[in-house]
Chain A
């Protein structure tokens, strides 16, 4: 792979961070989270202490969960997975003390800009959209929350937008103003962009299913592990169990194995019957079949179907995960020791920015027509945020969205058949990897569901909806704003966040005051 760690290792280019007053060597290009986790030792994955005093480590690896947060050079609540190491960087993992508190200057004058097409997200769909729009002559800005383009989960297509699109990395959407301008936040401050057309390519995040022990440091998302390895996490020699559901498990296992990890098990909750149907369908799509088999060859030996984790506990030298196999009534449990348990139960579309624009959201994601137009005339959407379907769907939908946004919709016509096929594959994917109902009851009464506020499963009983549960239990009130626990409550309680409020990501309070156009 061409991750920053490989490049950096070959250059032997190291930097020094000061973590809680202690010097820590890191590899240039690594994310701060990857540097923290690569420290070695039993406590390396303990990056944060929760509000009830429990140790926590990174979960999502892609800026969603806030479990890797720290104060970086005086900036609070920084997601260290989204921050690239710099020499002399100061990282404080303790919760910030109130006073005296560093007061970094906030730029007094917000930076504003405008463009023809603003693309939100620089994964496969966003890059495809930006490249298509820019090549068609539009003035394009692409932003992404992450420090590098390329997306978090699926990889493929161009690594950078082509055709002259401007790329702003490390930039998050804070809010949409009533006039339709987008307020953005980066490490420096506020930026506001007015665009004639917006393409949302906000991708997906992992679905997490809470089970006893899932909050232990060392339990990470499946896509989370892939993202962290990509950010320079060294997994050589580490014992890894990958569990959950979906084709992503194989991709993650493949990346881990190629990076030197020892794969102890891959547990797919879907059973043979479901998967067989999927495989038969793949024969009709040769490219997909090659992709699937190519990945599976290195990992087939430890791939188990109808298997899911029911508990994980800390042991003297790592973790012990209990994997359950078999049909209801004929279940067998087996304990597997590991250093890292990578768990993801499929993907859910990121629809928050679309909601902020007032676009309609359906069961599968942002509602779009055959030309990727949302219900709001100036906003298009493409890729995973319109329905989970993999990289091919993202690439073709991105191209269509980019062309339509640039006013070159006529040239998108030949692509529409491919879009339809990709969407059929997406529907198939959802059906194949539908969650086993047994997963809904894995959490015990005291299992933490909301990791920001440490709300346990027992506290979530008896509510009729997300808002009532939130107000009365504090679920979803923390900095992840329900993006992690909301996927969990959707599985375990049947409700999930249904509205968004500014800021879409936590920002310094001062940045909220910069929201007005000059």
Chain B
């Protein structure tokens, strides 16, 4: 089967590798270089999210695939498992942490509630007075750009082709991709994996850009040990309509601290916004006061690809025959890229899926019934 993949971010790269290894003749079209877009802008948190059964299934499968990938990754991928500490500010949040623990346990994901004293021992830099935390020990952290580059290189070893420096201008029915250099590529399937830019290439796809800010500090080894996230994070992340910030910090392998996070819907200007940065950092200092004294080296922004229901779009887009989507991962593209790739292979080659693909199918947003479109 001939497959052309548009975009060599983590999702496109993982898909290229999985499809090439499954025997497909793969061409990857990348305007700049692998892993240079949202893949490079995000945190690289490999995390199980439990806000819906579909999301647990997808993220825990993604995390498991990362774990099996880990021994093969280049050292520059900095894959580690510091675990996630979901921090509860008060008793209400601690009750929410307990409910979260039950949901994760039901899905077979290890998690443990810790009280204030134990939390202070785990994370002494957090402010006193927090109610506790839910620690998910198997969550991981990765530096995604070298992973995307490695996946593309491995895919090429498996027979894939990479076309750099050219972008897609249109997808036409029947698996035809038009390129900026005037050329066209025909394939059995065109997979669009261009993140928030997918809506530009495929009009009508329900993707909205959701801008995020991040800051990285100088080396401050040991300041934090887990990826620490406030429990309100998922709730805020879900509230698509409003701008939000949440305390979300990550220990990098270098000892640097990656500091997030923010969400602004439909904002595409790449500039760092001082006012938003102030709100985001104030939230972080509230939990981690010492962060304020650690030197900040850089701040930057990136665009998540948000969907109306918070679940990605993976599967055929019935409005255009031969077009498949692999986008809409919002903040979970890194976590779920390997599971997305696995799902694409199953879908394209008609194999049994490991994770039920129904909740991700793009057709859920089309009025036209899927069967009719096929």
Which chain A residues have a beta carbon within 8 Å of chain B's beta carbons?
51, 74, 76-77, 95-99, 101-104, 106, 175, 177-178, 183, 464-465, 467-468, 471-472, 477-479, 481, 501-503, 506-516
B296 touches A509 (CB 8 A): yes
B295 touches A464 (CB 8 A): no
Chain A nearest CB, measured from B246 CB (Å)? 15
Contact of B296 among A103, A472, A512 (CB under 8 A): A512
A472 touches B293 (CB 8 A): no
Q: Does chain A have a CB within 8 A of B275?
A: yes
Q: Which residue of A lies closest to B254 (CB)?
A: A51
Contact of B290 among A103, A478, A501, A515 (CB under 8 A): A103
Contact of A514 among B272, B278, B289 (CB under 8 A): B278
A513 touches B299 (CB 8 A): no
Q: Does chain A have a CB within 8 A of B268?
A: no
Contact of B294 among A183, A471, A508 (CB under 8 A): A508
A98 touches B221 (CB 8 A): yes
B278 touches A478 (CB 8 A): no
Asked, given contacts A99-B125, A183-B274, whether A472 binds B76 with beta carbons under 8 Å apart, the answer is yes
Q: Which residue of B lies closest to A100 (CB)?
A: B124
Q: Which 4 A-B pairs have the closest CB atoms?
A: A510-B292, A515-B274, A98-B222, A513-B281
Q: Does chain A have a CB within 8 A of B103?
A: no
A178 touches B271 (CB 8 A): yes
Q: CB-defined interface of B31-44 with A at 8 Å, one 1/0 digit per residue?
A: 01101100010000
A513 touches B278 (CB 8 A): yes
Instruction: From B254, B274, B281, B297, name the one whose CB has the most chain A CB atoms within 10 angstroms.
Output: B274
B297 touches A106 (CB 8 A): no
A502 touches B272 (CB 8 A): yes
Give the size of the chain B interface in residues (CB under 8 angstroms).
Answer: 45
A51 touches B219 (CB 8 A): yes
Chain A nearest CB, measured from B247 CB (Å)? 13
5 additional A-B pairs beyond A98-B255, A106-B292, A503-B296, beta carbons within 8 Å, are A51-B254, A501-B298, A501-B299, A510-B291, A512-B296
Q: Does chain A have a CB within 8 A of B365?
A: no
Q: Does chain A have a CB within 8 A of B145?
A: yes
Contact of A472 among B149, B259, B278 (CB under 8 A): B149
Q: Does chain A have a CB within 8 A of B355?
A: no
Q: Which residue of A lies closest to B124 (CB)?
A: A99
Q: CB-defined interface of B243-271 with A at 8 Å, one 1/0 digit per residue?
A: 00000000000110001000000000001
Which of chain B's residues 215-232 have a Cβ closer than 8 Å to chain A? Answer: 215, 217-223
Q: Does chain A have a CB within 8 A of B146?
A: yes
Chain A residues, CB < 8 A from B294: 76, 508-509
Chain B residues, CB < 8 A from A103: 289-290, 292-293
Chain A residues, CB < 8 A from B275: 515-516
Which chain B residues have a beta carbon within 8 Å of chain A's beta carbons?
32-33, 35-36, 40, 76, 124-125, 145-146, 149, 164, 215, 217-223, 254-255, 259, 271-275, 277-278, 281-282, 285, 289-300
B277 touches A512 (CB 8 A): yes
Q: How far is the CA of A512 from the CA of B216 in the complex (A)?
A: 12
Chain A residues, CB < 8 A from B293: 74, 76, 101-104, 106, 508-510
Chain A nearest CB, measured from B261 CB (Å)? 15
Asked, given contacts A97-B222, A178-B271, whether A479 binds B281 with beta carbons under 8 Å apart, the answer is no
Q: Which residue of A lies closest to B274 (CB)?
A: A515
B298 touches A481 (CB 8 A): yes
Contact of A471 among B36, B223, B298 (CB under 8 A): B36
Q: How would you classify the secondary structure of chain B's contact residues: helix, strand, loop or mixed?
A: mixed
A508 touches B289 (CB 8 A): no
Q: How far is the CA of A102 from the CA of B125 in the complex (A)?
A: 12
B297 touches A506 (CB 8 A): yes
Chain A residues, CB < 8 A from B149: 472
Chain A residues, CB < 8 A from B124: 99
Chain A residues, CB < 8 A from B145: 471-472
Chain B residues, CB < 8 A from A76: 218, 293-295
A513 touches B292 (CB 8 A): yes
Q: Which residue of B lies closest to A514 (CB)?
A: B278
Q: Which residue of B lies closest to A515 (CB)?
A: B274
A77 touches B218 (CB 8 A): yes
Q: Could you write out 10 A-B pairs with CB less than 8 Å apart?
A: A98-B223, A101-B220, A101-B223, A102-B293, A106-B293, A177-B274, A471-B35, A472-B76, A481-B297, A509-B292
Chain A residues, CB < 8 A from B289: 103
A509 touches B271 (CB 8 A): no
Chain A residues, CB < 8 A from B292: 103, 106, 508-510, 513
Q: How far is the CA of A33 from the CA of B130 in the complex (A)?
A: 42
Q: How far is the CA of A467 from the CA of B34 in the complex (A)?
A: 11
Chain B nearest CB, measured from A186 CB (Å)? 15
Q: Which residue of B lies closest to A506 (CB)?
A: B295
Chain A nearest CB, measured from B86 CB (Å)? 22
Chain A nearest CB, measured from B163 CB (Å)? 14
Chain A residues, CB < 8 A from B290: 99, 101, 103
Q: How far is the CA of A178 from the CA of B221 in the complex (A)?
A: 34
Asked, given contacts A51-B254, A175-B274, A472-B149, whether A507 binds B285 with beta carbons under 8 Å apart, the answer is no
Chain B residues, CB < 8 A from A464: 33, 164
Contact of A479 among B36, B164, B297 (CB under 8 A): B297
Q: Which residue of A lies closest to B40 (CB)?
A: A471
A508 touches B296 (CB 8 A): yes
Q: How far is the CA of A502 from the CA of B271 in the complex (A)?
A: 9
Instruction: From B40, B275, B294, name the one whose CB has the most chain A CB atoms within 10 angstroms.
Output: B294
Chain B nearest CB, measured from A178 CB (Å)? 7
A472 touches B146 (CB 8 A): yes
Q: Which residue of A lies closest to B222 (CB)?
A: A98
Chain B nearest CB, measured from A92 CB (Å)? 14
A512 touches B215 (CB 8 A): yes
Q: Which residue of A lies closest to B280 (CB)?
A: A513
Q: Which residue of A lies closest to B123 (CB)?
A: A99
A478 touches B33 (CB 8 A): no
B219 touches A95 (CB 8 A): yes
Chain B residues, CB < 8 A from A183: 274
Chain B residues, CB < 8 A from A98: 125, 220-223, 255
A510 touches B285 (CB 8 A): yes
Q: How far is the CA of A353 from the CA of B297 in the complex (A)?
A: 16
Chain A nearest CB, measured from B227 CB (Å)? 16
Q: How far is the CA of A440 from the CA of B68 in the complex (A)?
A: 43
Q: How far is the CA of A509 from the CA of B288 in the complex (A)?
A: 12
Q: How far is the CA of A97 from the CA of B223 in the complex (A)?
A: 8
Chain B residues, CB < 8 A from A513: 277-278, 281-282, 285, 292
Chain B nearest CB, measured from A138 CB (Å)? 27
Contact of B259 among A97, A99, A509, A511 (CB under 8 A): A509
